Amino acid sequence: MHPVRPVDPSFVLQRTQQGVVVSATHPALGRLYWSFISGADHNAPDYYSITQELDTALLLPYGWREKGHLAQHRSHVSKAICDEAEYQGVQCAKDVMYLGGMLGNLQKRSGQSPAEFASWLEVATWADEEAPACVQYLTNFNGLIGYAPEWSADAADALQFTEAEVGAGEDADDLDVMLAARLGKFVEQSTLH
């Protein structure tokens, strides 16, 4: 697939993401959310953290707590602390001497010591909250990136597809188009403005 196809009319692939984010309210920082970056597509470890930004929060499907394949997120807070902490003695929140990365930035702004902030994270009431629906557009999807789709909220960044490709859908001769058709729905780009 080519990033831009100057054929009219052009189509883009659209999906709507829905689900829940997990959040708690810190007394000084306000709303905090779980954040997660998978390292699976580039052979790196997963990164668990906490963020104040709803748009970078981990989006989980409704009912995720009952689904076994998402069990790795049940210990999200502990993993986030372990990813960023240096300990004195045993690895538990009260022994955290230093927090780096995103957690370190939040901890400094919280006015708490690293151990106090880590302890607060562990005892906070983390609850599911419905996330606003998010419309996204496919920006990159090909065998060179391991068929890991990349998405953007901006339709101007989207890959463009021809009317012939859209018409073929899952029966397309091009593997990229055939697989992409399973990820969302094709919409005419001119209808998005």
Q: The domain containing residue 32 runs over which residues?
A: 19-130
- pLDDT for 153: 84
Query: In this predicted model, which residue has the larger pLDDT, 155 or 70?
Result: 155
Residue 5 in this model has a pLDDT that exceeds 50: no
The residue among 130, 156, 174 that closes a domain is: 130
- pLDDT for 171: 63
Look at residue 53 and tell me if it is in a domain: yes
Q: How big is the CA angle at 130 (ends 125 and 133), to the nearest 5 degrees? A: 150
Percent of the chain exceeding pLDDT 90 equals: 26
For residue range 94-104, list pLDDT tens digits in order. Answer: 677 888 888 99
The answer to whether residues 68 and 156 belong to one domain is no
Look at residue 99 and tell me if it is in a domain: yes
For residue range 155-180, list pLDDT tens digits in order. Answer: 888 988 888 878 765 666 677 777 77
Closest CA to 57 of 2, 110, 134, 113: 134
Helices (H) and strands (E) in the chain, counts: 5, 10
Look at residue 140 and tell me if it is in a domain: yes
Q: Which two tokens stand for residue 143?
A: 């065998």
Which of 1-15, 59-73, 131-145 bottoms out in mean pLDDT, i.e. has the lowest? 1-15
Look at residue 1 and tell me if it is in a domain: no
Cα atoms in the Cβ-side hemisphere of radius 13 Å centred on 97 = 6
Residue 90 in this model has a pLDDT that exceeds 60: no
Q: What is the mean pLDDT of residues 126-144?
A: 84
Q: Which two tokens stand for residue 19?
A: 């689900």
The answer to whether residues 45 and 126 belong to one domain is yes
- Looking at every residue in the chain, the average pLDDT score rounds to 81
- pLDDT for 66: 81
The answer to whether residues 30 and 88 belong to one domain is yes
Question: Could you tell me the pTM of the whole model?
Answer: 0.73
Instruction: Yes or no: say if 99 and 77 are a contact pair by the CB < 8 Å rule.
Output: no
The structure tokens 């996204």 sit at 136
Q: How many domains does the chain have?
A: 2
Q: Which residues pair with 51 in a beta bridge?
A: 33
- Distance, in Å, from the CA atom of 130 to the CA atom of 63, rounded to the nearest integer, reads 11
The residue among 114, 130, 146 that closes a domain is: 130
Strands across the sheet with 30-37, in order?
47-51, 30-37, 20-26, 127-130
- pLDDT for 14: 92
